[in-house]
Amino acid sequence: MRKYTVFLASSAELNSDKEQVELFISRKNKDLHKKRVDLELSTWKDFISAMTEEHSQEKYNAYIRTCDIAIFLFHTKLGRFTKEEFDTAHKAFKEHSGHVKKPLIYTYFKTAKDEAPEITAFRTYIDGLEHFYDTYDSTEALFVHLNRQLDKLENEGIIHADPIDVPKLIRNLILSVLPVLLVASVVSAYYFFQPLSMTVKVREPNPIPGLPFRSGTLSLTYGDKTETLEIKDEAMFRQVPSKFKRSKLRLVFHAKGFLPIDTLIDAGEIAELPIRRDSSLAIIFGIVKNEDNQPEPDVLLSVGDLQSKTGEQGKFRIVIPLEKQAEEQRLTAYKEGFQLWDETFPVVAGEETHVILKK
């Protein structure tokens, strides 16, 4: 098996796209492994250690200089170290003396309505290096670009397998491997007919401090049977019939405050499920009235540093960004000539908040 190392870098805002690329490479490897080729993908997560931030970045850069392929993703922001990593890869490519220069660099910009000046400047910088880049508007489009490039490398022989000595391989099979295979076949047959115990772990990529995932339900469907378990961190489905070991199983996730998931997964001993919060805590809206039960305009409402003013009908709406969302929020209402209204209450999706101001 010939191994090719791949480095994937992006700013934090594209963590979701980066995770999808990891899944794409994993699926691509299923085909490449049949050709005795393996793409070994590494991201910043593979370098986490107790070292200082600077030393960790040195490790990234050292790896980039020796990898075969470097993939860079950009969107609206330029990551703190992403330009440094790009420059490291580009310099290593220019200085490489081999027949095939490396790392081969593939750069993609995700289309955005509001592109930061630093991204625009970086595009100009890349143009000055005469380095080609491409754009994409969805992960599906990105996969098409990546798949086309990998197929091209394979067709040009840049990605290829180690040669095999067929006669020697046959002799080894006859003299030593075949007896082992017979024993392994017996063991494999025993394993294949054993029921499967499958553990599913949930993971929140960008958790909100003070607003952790508490619990939810997981439903696993195989054949005509559906099994539902409560999950807090992980759940184990036991005694899944062996005939489903090579099948796609349907997994459904539900939890208060999180987006539902309905997906197909490969049967296996361990599966990881990324979960993300919904928008149920993102909006506080309502109406402000005075003691005469009349709508009160021009009232200043505040949730922390977020503010909104009521209109002529006394209505208001405050959008809470993801990092400031909470199950309870403190809301204040103020207008000159009225007492300050101050109350902490649970946020309920779709529920209107009623504020009565007193003189």
Q: Which of 245, 274, 303 is the last residue of a domain?
A: 274
In the structure encoding, which two tokens stand for residue 216, read together?
A: 């939810």
101-156 pLDDT tens trace: 899 999 999 998 888 899 999 999 999 998 999 999 999 999 999 999 999 999 99
Residue 344 lies in a domain: yes
Strand partners, 258: 277
pLDDT of 166 = 56
Strand partners, 249: 265
Same domain, 128 and 239: no
Contact between 348 and 283 (Cβ < 8 Å):
no
Beta strand spans in the chain (E)? 2-10, 37-42, 69-74, 104-110, 134-136, 196-203, 216-222, 225-231, 234-240, 248-254, 261-266, 270-274, 283-290, 300-303, 306-309, 315-319, 328-334, 341-346, 353-357
- Residue 307: closest CA among 279, 335, 281: 335
Residue 347 lies in a domain: yes
pLDDT of 4 = 95
CATH number of the structural domain spanning residue 116 = 3.40.50.10140
Same domain, 218 and 290: no
Collapsing DSSP to helix, strand or coil, 274 comes out as strand
Same domain, 82 and 148: yes
Residue percentage of the chain with pLDDT more than 90: 63
Residue 10 lies in a domain: yes
Same domain, 249 and 291: no
pLDDT of 90 = 94
Same domain, 144 and 204: no
- Residue 260: closest CA among 225, 216, 199: 216
- For the CA atoms of the chain, what is the radius of gyration? 28
Q: Which of 274, 305, 326 is the last residue of a domain?
A: 274
Residue 164 lies in a domain: no
Number of domains within the chain? 3
Collapsing DSSP to helix, strand or coil, 221 comes out as strand
At residue 352, φ and ψ (nearest 5 deg) are -80, 135
Same domain, 134 and 248: no
pLDDT of 51 = 46
Same domain, 23 and 86: yes
345-355 pLDDT tens trace: 999 989 999 99
Residue 76 lies in a domain: yes
pLDDT of 186 = 56
Q: Collect the ranges in the chain with pLDDT lower than 50.
A: 50-51
The boundaries of the domain holding residue 63 are 2-155
Same domain, 309 and 261: no
Q: Any residues with CB less than 8 A from the CB of 208 and at least 6 apart, and which?
A: 277, 322, 323, 325, 326
List b or e across 39-75, with b for residues whose CB sees 16 or more CB atoms inside 10 angstroms.
Answer: bebbbbeeeeeeeeeeebbeebbebbbebbbbbbbbb
Residue 17 lies in a domain: yes
Residue 160 lies in a domain: no
Give, to the nearest 10 degrees, the angle between helix 139-155 and helix 15-32: 40
Same domain, 23 and 87: yes
Same domain, 206 and 260: yes
CATH number of the structural domain spanning residue 332 = 2.60.40.1120
Residue 179 lies in a domain: no
Same domain, 213 and 259: yes
Same domain, 266 and 323: no
The Cα 319–Cα 285 span in angstroms is 9
- Residue 200: closest CA among 217, 179, 225, 180: 217
